[in-house]
Chain A
Amino acid sequence: MAQQSNIGELLSMLDSPVLSVRDDVTAVFKENLNSDRGPMLVNTLVDYYLDTNSQPVLHILTTLQEPHDKHLLDKMNEYVGKAASRLSTLSLLGHVIRLQPSWKHKLSQAPLLPSLLKCLKMDTDVVVLTTGVLVLITMLPMIPQSGKQHLHDFFDIFGRLSSWCLKKPGHVTEIYLVHLHASVYALFHRLYGMYPCNFVSFLRSHYSMKENLETFEEVVKPMMEHVRIHPELVTGSKDHELDPRRWKRLETHDVVIECAKISLDPTEASYEDGYSVSHQISARFPHRSADVTASPYVDTQNSYGSATSTPYSISRLTLLNTPGQLPQTLSSPSTRLLTEPPQATLWSPSMVCGMTTPPTSPGNVPPDLSHPYSKVFGTTGGKGTPLGTPATSPPPAPLCHSDDYVHISLPQATATPAKKEERTDSARPCLHRQHHLPNDRGLEELPGSKGSVTLSDLPGFLGDLASEEDSIEKDKEEAAISKELSEITTADAELLVPRGGFDSPFYRDSLPGCPRKTHSAASGTQGTSVNPEPLNSSLDKLGPDTPKQAFTPIDLPCGGAEEGPAGNRGRQPSLETSILTPSPCKIPPPRGVGFGSGQPPPYDHLFEVALPKTAHHFVSKKTEELLKKAKGNAEEDSWPSTSPVEVLDRLIQQGADAHSKELNKLSLPSKSVDWTHFGDEIRTLRNQLLLLHNQLLYERFKRQQHAVRNRRLLRKVIRAAALEEHNAAMKDQLKLQEKDIQMWKVSLQKEQARYSQLQEQRDTVVTQLHSQIRQLQHDREEFYNQSQELQTKLEDCRNMIAELRLELKKANSKVCHTELLLSQVSQKLSNSESVQQQMEFLNRQLLVLGEVNELYLEQLQNKHSDTTKEVEMMKAAYRKELEKNRSHVLQQNQRLDTSQKRILELESHLAKKDHLLLEQKKYLEDVKLQARGQLQAAESRYEAQKRITQAFELEILDLYGRLEKDGLLKKLEEEKTEAAEAAGERLDCCSDGCSDSVVGHNEEASGHNGETKPPRPGSTRGSSGSRGGGGSSSSSELSTPEKPPNQRAGLFSSRWETTVGEPSTSIPTTVGSLPSSKSFLGMKARELFRNKSESQCDEDGITISSLSETLKTELGKDSGVEAKTPLNLDGPYPSPPNPDSVGQLRIMDYNETHHEHS
């Protein structure tokens, strides 16, 4: 609670006149707000404000920070709901919104918006409505996306209010309606600018209804005449308009400008268009555009274009160095130059035509003007660059020239700071006037870039009107200022009274000026005291600017830089008004009035300084009003499509005029009396004032938006300029580099030429050197040849020397040899000499010895019988003999040796011999073998031969056998008579004989018995005696088998055997008479049988002859085994022996033969 009371105290202290206290308290409040988050403080502040309308509180409220917005909005929502506090709440809301708090986006969600809309729909109080509409219009660009929800509410409000303008329900005063109309007009622009499609469709649907048709005709249609076709109508759609994405890209001021663009209303749109153009131009070609754009301007204003163009370019060039403010200032006017002419055609022609005064005769003026301007720019070129100089110098100039104006006195009257501030803003109004008074003002103001720019624009238009314009503008300004002041100072009770003095009736009676004049007068009187406030406020607003302004009243480039946007804005509207209002301006009455009055101007500058935008609007309104009046006076039909703004302007103008008039008429005391009488009117006026204030605030807001935008554009321009500068610099560099390159090229060529020269020189030198080399080489070769020759000579010489040396050596050797020989010879000589000497010596000795010998001989003869001599002789003999023997032994030894050697030799010989012998033996063996082989072959051959012969024999025998057979058969036939036995025997014998031998056995066979016996003894004779006996016996036995065999019983068997075996063994022997090579036994047998072959043959031949036939086959077999076969065959004849006996026989035979052999 203590706090509460504290707050109350503090609140009361806020309004204290002491500045320091107020500041402290505000600081305390702000601290509290920062620390406290509750709604309490805000609520109390709001309450207090609504109660007291306290400015500091308002200031606090408008600068509320984030967390408190909700409380504020809630609180305001609460108060909006109440009809009593609605108006003040709305105005508070307007204040808050215009400052664009950081939380402005929350507005769309806040409950305040619906309640505001509701209030706008429901309320019937025009003031509230107007205020609300203005607030809404201000708010719309901030919350464009919220349109989606409330779009129809907006449209409804528009529909309702537009109809209100016509229908005037209730007791709404006309003058309010003017305000309302103006605000509706603004709403129309805003809605059309923001949501064209939706809005148009709404219009279509809403005004297609019959009951609304009239409203459309009367209200909406004229409004539509002030807008061009929105591009969105072609390209956009309803949905697209509401698309938040579309709005996201746009800031608040963008939206505002967008809306302004589509307006044809000069008050709203001229500069907007200008912006659009300026964008292009500034973007494309800043200076050139000036020339180009100047041309249309020149058409209307003749040769100004050329004149202006040059200054532009110059200024441009010179000012490029200065901060980027100037380009913008340049561009903006230039664009305006472009845009103005059409507007002029729109607006001025009819008026101009009607005008008595010659409006534009620029032809005369331009040449005059152009020169000064060019001069001026020349000077600016000098002066403009140093920034500091103009700051001090300009102030006096405007002051001096402002002498023309009424408000010259004002600066003097008011405090100096105020004056300076005025300057800054008044610069624009001043500019206008400068156009009118080109020579004087232009020169002074030229140092300021603004001055130059505006100067360039306006002279064409207003050259002639200079003086009149001034006055008019002054009037307007005065009026505006007065109003503004009144608004500002509404809180003051003093001012309330004079305000109340304004009468609508006056206004209606086209004498509204009276009360205003009074008011203005009042304000004028109080102006001095009041001025500080707005100035302060303006200072607050333009915080950073103020200090600079203090130093640079008007034209400081740096000051301008900050103020640029504001200045521009202020200037542009003013220019527009100036353009737009030529005709009103020329209307004599106001002029006269303006001049006549002469008082109000003092506020003019202040006003514009504080609120340039609103000021302009008031001016425009005034002009409109004046226009109306003028029209009325001139009995001209009112302009069919005057915009509500103009109407409002005119109203204000008229009001101002009336006010001034009234002021003139009335004395102050009477005034007060009047106010009391016209309490009702006072209220009306107050309301009006409120409305105007609202309007003003709205326009101010718009201005701020423009300022923001300008700042941005300025930035762009600066950047572009910088880039251009950079480009230029680059180009310069490029040129320089190109120059360099060319220089380099030239030098290169030179160098090349030099190089080629040098090369040629070098070539020549080289060729020379080559030739020299060749020559030298030639020389060298010659020398070489010579040297070779010399060398060969040298060689020869050497050889010769060597030969000579050799010869020398030889000679030396010869010499030596000869020397040697010589020495030898000499030696020999000496030797021979010595020998001769010896000879002589020996001869002498010989002689001596001969003498000695003779002596010895004498001695010998003397001694004969000396025995020792014999012994000696003997000894000598022995010795000799011994020696002889020794030598003999030696000889013997030698012989022995030799003989031993001989022995060794012989032994080796012997060994060799043995070896040889062995070899010989081997060889012999070899040969033996060879021979044996050959012998074997031969033997086999022989064997074969034997076989062959055997075969042949067999064959022959066979053949004989056959022959004999034949013969026997014959004989048998012949000797049939003879004994058969004998015949048989004979037959056998015959056959045997045949086999026995080839040689004539036939005879034996014939008489064989006797003959066979004789050879037997012979055979026995050849053999040993015993055997011979055996043989004889056996033969006898054979021959006579019948003879007693028991003679020799022991031998019987053997005998038998032999007898039996004999034929067998004998057969081969007899047949072949050859020893069987097979065995030793065979050989023995052969020998044996050979001895008694004859006898055997005889015997056997007889015995076996018969068996010949059979035997033949068996003959081939030599062995005894086969022998039995013939016996077997002989079977009938001898007793057949068994095989065993045969074996025995054979053994026996073997033994026998053995025996025999042994």
Chain B
Amino acid sequence: MTEDSQRNFRSVYYEKVGFRGVEEKKSLEILLKDDRLDIEKLCTFSQRFPLPSMYRALVWKVLLGILPPHHESHAQVMMYRKEQYSDVLHALKVIRFVSDATPQVEVFLRMYQLESGKLPRSPSFPLEPEGEVFLAIAKAMEEMVEDSVDCYWIIRCFVNQLNSKYRDSLPQLPKAFEQYLNLEDSRLLSHLKTCSAVSKLPYDLWFKRCFAGCLPESSLQRVWDKVVSGSCKILVFVAVEILLTFKIKVMALNSAEKITKFLENIPQDSSDAIVSKAIDLWHKHCGTPVHSA
């Protein structure tokens, strides 16, 4: 009851009328007020609603396990994280893998490599594909998160999540993509098939990098909200929506290369709408996630 009384009684109607995000912030705040944060609730919330930007970093950190659910330990844990960060950074500096001139993203990469024990013998060694993915994600994340420690940690955990939690589901995504595209627009799919472009679509960009570098950060973070909160299927719908949005252009293109090229460099202006539609589409096909509790 206390929770209800704090909430605006109009919130139900806001949603009915179609306003979104009016009460989200407040409800999120209520969620965040709990000691011993309920991770599941937070997951559900972030899946249902876009996160307010001021709480995004915090939520992400909690969801990615960077911060424990207890508020009390936040400070301590964060201190550890920071120390760890500085230690790693220091080590890298000591072994002269990075210098002050090294770009932050690369520093993050090296740190990650170091921490995962994959640090190459020499910085001059060519990057592996995973490194490229990391770099892309890091670049996008750098824009979203200001604090470098947070940024590093979020990147690290995000990538880790991709590599661990979604390791099995990510390869399935292209198939799901085809399926949903067929549902949405079979003609487009058939066109793609005739162009034999289905297999050549930029799946790496879409699913491995999670659209990092493909969509602008402002819209991307909304996609990542879902990804962080545990749903990688959103990526499929974003991809579908991209194709639907640029259907006419895509239909106009006949060769697979051109299509791929176009899709790799889609115009950025309509990204927000794409994301919104994609989320709607996602909700439509997978249902709105409801907190079981």
B99 at the A interface (CB under 8 A): no
Contact partner, B84, options A930, A941, A955, Cβ 8 Å: A941
Provide the bound-state CA to CA distance between A941 and B92, in Å.
Answer: 15
Provide the bound-state CA to CA distance between A950 and B70, in Å.
Answer: 32
B94 contacts A952, C-beta separation under 8 Å = yes
Q: Which residues of A contact B91 (CB under 8 A)?
A: 947-948, 951-952
Whole-angstrom distance between the Cβ of B79 and the nearest chain A Cβ = 9
Provide the bound-state CA to CA distance between A958 and B115, in Å.
Answer: 19
B114 contacts A948, C-beta separation under 8 Å = yes
Q: Across the two chains, which residue of chain B brings its CB closest to A943?
A: B115
Q: Which residues of A contact B117 (CB under 8 A)?
A: 947, 950, 1116-1118
Q: Across the two chains, which residue of chain A brings its CB closest to B111?
A: A944
B70 contacts A944, C-beta separation under 8 Å = no
A937 contacts B115, C-beta separation under 8 Å = no
A934 contacts B118, C-beta separation under 8 Å = no
Q: Which residues of B contact A356 (CB under 8 A)?
A: none
Contact partner, B36, options A926, A938, A944, A958, Cβ 8 Å: A926
Provide the bound-state CA to CA distance between A936 and B68, in Å.
Answer: 9
Provide the bound-state CA to CA distance between A1116 and B115, in Å.
Answer: 11
Q: Which residues of A contact B65 (CB under 8 A)?
A: 936
Q: Across the two chains, which residue of chain A brings its CB closest to B88?
A: A944
A1024 at the B interface (CB under 8 A): no
Whole-angstrom distance between the Cβ of A927 and the nearest chain B Cβ = 9
Q: Which residues of A contact B116 (CB under 8 A)?
A: 947
B114 contacts A938, C-beta separation under 8 Å = no
Q: Per-position contact with A for B105-132: 1 when CB-CB < 8 Å, else 0?
A: 0000000001111110100000000000
A963 at the B interface (CB under 8 A): no
A933 contacts B95, C-beta separation under 8 Å = no
Provide the bound-state CA to CA distance between A937 and B90, in Å.
Answer: 18
A948 contacts B81, C-beta separation under 8 Å = no
B119 contacts A1116, C-beta separation under 8 Å = yes
Question: Max chain B CB contacts within 10 Å: which of A929, A934, A952, A1118?
Answer: A934
Q: Which residues of A contact B72 (CB under 8 A)?
A: 930
Whole-angstrom distance between the Cβ of B253 and the nearest chain A Cβ = 44
Q: Across the two chains, which residue of chain B brings its CB closest to A941?
A: B84
Q: Per-position contact with B for A940-961: 1 when CB-CB < 8 Å, else 0?
A: 1101110110111011001000
A933 contacts B77, C-beta separation under 8 Å = yes
B169 at the A interface (CB under 8 A): no
Q: Which residues of B contact A945 (CB under 8 A)?
A: 84, 87
Provide the bound-state CA to CA distance between A947 and B121, in Å.
Answer: 14
Contact partner, B70, options A933, A951, A1112, Cβ 8 Å: A933
Question: If A937-B81, A944-B115, A950-B117 touch, does A930 touch B73 (CB 8 Å cutoff)?
Answer: yes
Contact partner, A933, options B68, B92, B119, B121, Cβ 8 Å: B68
A1113 contacts B115, C-beta separation under 8 Å = no
Q: Per-position contact with B for A904-932: 1 when CB-CB < 8 Å, else 0?
A: 00000000000000000000001001101
Provide the bound-state CA to CA distance between A1117 and B119, in Å.
Answer: 10
Whole-angstrom distance between the Cβ of B3 and the nearest chain A Cβ = 20
Question: Max chain B CB contacts within 10 Å: which of A937, A950, A952?
Answer: A937
**Interface residues in B158-201 (C-beta closer than 8 Å to A):** none
Provide the bound-state CA to CA distance between A926 and B69, in Å.
Answer: 10
A947 contacts B115, C-beta separation under 8 Å = yes
Q: Per-position contact with A for B70-100: 1 when CB-CB < 8 Å, else 0?
A: 1011001100110110011011101100000
Contact partner, A940, options B76, B84, B118, Cβ 8 Å: B84
Provide the bound-state CA to CA distance between A951 and B81, in Å.
Answer: 19
Contact partner, A947, options B69, B81, B114, Cβ 8 Å: B114
Whole-angstrom distance between the Cβ of B46 and the nearest chain A Cβ = 20
Q: Across the two chains, which residue of chain A brings its CB closest to B95?
A: A955
Contact partner, A951, options B68, B73, B119, Cβ 8 Å: B119
A944 contacts B95, C-beta separation under 8 Å = no
Whole-angstrom distance between the Cβ of A1109 and the nearest chain B Cβ = 12
Q: Which residues of A contact B81 (CB under 8 A)?
A: 937, 941
Provide the bound-state CA to CA distance between A944 and B90, in Å.
Answer: 12
Provide the bound-state CA to CA distance between A936 and B88, in Å.
Answer: 17
B84 contacts A951, C-beta separation under 8 Å = no
Q: Across the two chains, which residue of chain A brings its CB closest to B72?
A: A930
B76 contacts A934, C-beta separation under 8 Å = yes
Whole-angstrom distance between the Cβ of A326 and the nearest chain B Cβ = 116
Provide the bound-state CA to CA distance between A1114 and B91, in Å.
Answer: 19
Whole-angstrom distance between the Cβ of A216 and the nearest chain B Cβ = 130
Q: Which residues of A contact B118 (CB under 8 A)?
A: 1116
B119 contacts A934, C-beta separation under 8 Å = no
B80 contacts A930, C-beta separation under 8 Å = no
Whole-angstrom distance between the Cβ of B163 and the nearest chain A Cβ = 15
B70 contacts A926, C-beta separation under 8 Å = yes
Q: Per-position contact with A for B33-49: 1 when CB-CB < 8 Å, else 0?
A: 00010000000000000
Provide the bound-state CA to CA distance between A736 and B204, in Å.
Answer: 134
Provide the bound-state CA to CA distance between A930 and B73, in Å.
Answer: 7
Provide the bound-state CA to CA distance between A1116 and B94, in Å.
Answer: 17
Contact partner, B83, options A941, A947, A958, Cβ 8 Å: A941
Provide the bound-state CA to CA distance between A940 and B153, in Å.
Answer: 11
Q: Which residues of B contact A948 (CB under 8 A)?
A: 87-88, 90-91, 114
Whole-angstrom distance between the Cβ of A562 and the nearest chain B Cβ = 118
Whole-angstrom distance between the Cβ of B152 and the nearest chain A Cβ = 11
Whole-angstrom distance between the Cβ of B41 and the nearest chain A Cβ = 16
Provide the bound-state CA to CA distance between A51 and B121, in Å.
Answer: 190
25 inter-chain pairs at a CB distance below 8 angstroms, sorted by A residue, are A926-B36, A929-B68, A929-B69, A930-B68, A932-B68, A933-B67, A934-B80, A936-B65, A940-B80, A941-B83, A943-B115, A944-B88, A944-B115, A945-B87, A947-B88, A947-B114, A948-B90, A950-B117, A951-B91, A951-B95, A952-B91, A955-B94, A1112-B121, A1113-B121, A1116-B119
Give residues in B with beta carbon < 8 Å to A.
36, 65, 67-70, 72-73, 76-77, 80-81, 83-84, 87-88, 90-92, 94-95, 114-119, 121
The 4 closest A-B pairs by CB, nearest first: A933-B68, A948-B91, A937-B80, A941-B84
